[in-house]
Amino acid sequence: MIDQTAFVHDSAYVDTGAHVGSNSKIWHFCHILPGTRVGRSCVLGQNVMAGPNVAIGDGCKIQNNVAIYKGVTLEADVFCGPSCVFTNVLTPRAHVERKDEFHKTLVKRGATIGANATIVCGNTLGEYCMVAAGAVVASDVPDYALMVGVPARRIGWVSRSGDRLDASLVCPRTAEIYVEENGFLRIIEGISNELY
């Protein structure tokens, strides 16, 4: 079902059994497979493939040339940069059927995945984390973590607005205050969640 307020370009395919939410935009050459749910106010750029049975939360922005395979869940407000990659099998072979071995990947609310980054299946990317362009994520990522490299490693923290935090752990854009405990970051004071 395609909500009447959604836009689907003439060159895109939305298969029977897929759902596109209100005010979403599906651009050139996209393919939304059966069982896939695209939330409200999403933007899927040129040549995005999603499905089957993929969940894309409200407000997600998926840039050109991204394939989101079965087993991947994007929560609300996730940003996927151009040509980022999701895998769903750890040891693929062309001659061995492994569809029963798909691993789940969860990308939590507000996360950003940079251009050409690779997300190895079976991992969770925490809320508001930021994965740098070209990084390869091969393990779970904490909330607010700034991840770079191959394999990706944490080099710092970012705020909900995506600004890098210095030692004060105060967001330079919003003045939100964070605290680090046992290798994890959490917000302790800030502006309303309604802004995010």
For the chain, which domains are there? 7-159 (2.160.10.10)
pLDDT in the model for residue 20: 98
How long is the chain? 196
What pLDDT was estimated at residue 190? 65
Neighbours of 71 (CB within 10 A): 19
DSSP-based helix, strand, coil % in the chain, nearest 5: 5, 35, 60
pLDDT in tens, 54-107: 999 999 999 999 999 999 999 999 999 999 999 999 999 999 999 889 999 999
Buried b (16+ CB within 10 A) or exposed e, 88-103: bbeeeeeeeeeeeebe
Q: What residues in the chain have per-residue pLDDT under 50? A: 192, 196
What is the C-alpha separation between 143 and 127, in angstroms, rounded?
Answer: 5
Per-residue pLDDT at 119: 98
pLDDT at 191: 60
3-state secondary structure 43-93: EECCCCEECCCCEECCCCEECCCCEECCCEEECCCCEECCCCEECCCCCCE
